[in-house]
Amino acid sequence: MNGQNRSDIQPGMDVYVILKKDQRTGEKTRGTVRDILTKSSFHPHGIKVRLEDGQVGRVCDIL
């Protein structure tokens, strides 16, 4: 799953996200979803989430 569909993501899931500061390099950060921030059901760049540690990024991979 690539993280573009909101229905695929639930709080508590382990995911890889790309943080805003890492968009140029594509570096992935692993974390656990705390909140889903994107309201639409689909986003081509990935659903934006807040991780348990407070970082915000777009989901690129779901574990």
Tens digits of per-residue pLDDT, 4-63? Answer: 999 999 999 999 999 999 999 999 999 999 999 999 999 999 999 999 999 999 999 999
Residue 13, SS3? coil
CATH number of the domain at 58, please. Answer: 2.30.30
Q: Comparing 1 with 29, which gets the higher pLDDT?
A: 29
- Domain range enclosing 13: 6-62
52 is a domain residue: yes
Q: How many domains does the chain have?
A: 1
Handedness of CA 26, 37, 12, 33 (dihedral sign): positive
pTM for this model (two decimals): 0.92
Give which of 29, 35, 31 is closest to 10, Cα–Cα: 35
11 is a domain residue: yes
pLDDT at residue 1 in the model: 79
pLDDT at residue 19 in the model: 97
Q: How far is CA 46 from the centre of its chain?
A: 6
48 is a domain residue: yes
1 is a domain residue: no
